[in-house]
């Protein structure tokens, strides 16, 4: 994640955001909310997927705030387009509701969290910041659906540290928090995650969480 701005109030790097939502009223209100928070910098916004895609690739935001229903398409098609462009930022989906199957597909496509529009503005600000720090925010209802729909399968051999890291990842901890729990450096946590990515064949934290629940929970 590459941040260039700095928050004057905290001295920490600002989180660079892009907002894609086809509802102008919600989008404008969201932009006003985020612009009032010194932790965030708006790199761009759009109401149409076709114009948003090149802007996002050029701006390279840390977090894309993505509406599920984009009018001409859903977030499913847009996430596939982002994958083809090798977008490396994190994606927080905002929605008034979506089918469980679509939620699971979006997690497989690499979204970092699902936020419901019915929740408070303060909750949204918190969710955006937590996703920017590496947390995976997936509602319990979707996790329960995954567990109910899948049975354990053969899994690669995990080391004790890899299993412990996976357990903390399932709890939603960021790298810094996992490092504190294990009394190791943050770089060691990142190295362990890279080993897990290599062993499981996934590329994002959310995909790793989903895979751990679907296939490897018996080992954890």
* pLDDT tens column, 14-55: 999 999 999 999 999 999 999 999 999 999 999 999 999 999
Q: Are residues 32 and 76 in the same domain?
A: yes
What's the whole-model pTM score? 0.70
Provide the domain count of the chain: 2
Residue 4 lies in a domain: no
Residue in 165, 142, 174 with CA at minimum distance from that of residue 220 = 165
Dist CA 75 CA 112 (whole Å): 13
**Structure tokens given for 166:** 């996976």
d(CA 90, CA 124): 15
Structural domain of 28: 15-144
* C-alpha to C-alpha distance for 13 and 17, rounded to whole angstroms: 13
In a domain, 6, yes or no: no
Indicate whether 120 and 215 sit together in one domain: no
Q: What angle do the packed helices 140-149 and 100-108 form, to 10 degrees?
A: 90
> Could you tell me how many helices (H) and strands (E) the chain has, helices first?
10, 5
Model pLDDT for residues 51-85, shown as the tens digit of each residue = 999 999 999 999 999 999 998 888 999 999 999 99
- Give dist(CA 93, CA 122) in Å, integer: 16
The DSSP element (H or E) to which 140 belongs, if any, is: helix 140-149
CB 55 within 8 A of CB 46: yes
pLDDT recorded at residue 107 = 84
CATH number at residue 195: 1.10.10.10
């Amino acid at each position: 994640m590459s941040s260039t701005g700095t928050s004057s109030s905290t001295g920490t790097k600002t989180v660079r955001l892009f907002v894609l939502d086809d509802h102008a009223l919600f989008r404008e209100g969201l932009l006003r909310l985020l612009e009032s928070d010194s932790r965030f910098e708006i790199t761009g916004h759009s109401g149409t997927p076709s114009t948003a895609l090149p802007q996002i690739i050029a701006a390279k935001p840390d977090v894309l705030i993505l509406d599920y229903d984009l009018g001409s398409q859903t977030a499913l098609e847009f996430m596939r387009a982002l994958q083809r462009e090798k977008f490396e930022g994190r994606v927080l989906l905002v929605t008034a509701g979506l089918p469980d199957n679509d939620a699971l597909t979006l997690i497989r496509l690499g979204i970092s969290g699902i936020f419901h529009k019915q929740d408070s503005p303060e909750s949204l600000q918190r969710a955006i910041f937590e996703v920017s720090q590496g947390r995976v925010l997936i509602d319990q209802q979707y996790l329960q659906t995954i567990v109910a729909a899948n049975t354990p399968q053969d899994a690669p051999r995990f080391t004790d540290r890899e299993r412990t890291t996976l357990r903390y990842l399932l709890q939603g901890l960021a790298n810094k928090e996992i490092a504190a729990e294990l009394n190791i450096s943050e770089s060691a946590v990142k190295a362990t995650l890279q080993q897990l990515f290599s062993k499981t064949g996934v590329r994002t934290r959310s995909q790793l969480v989903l895979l751990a629940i679907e296939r490897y929970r018996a080992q954890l």
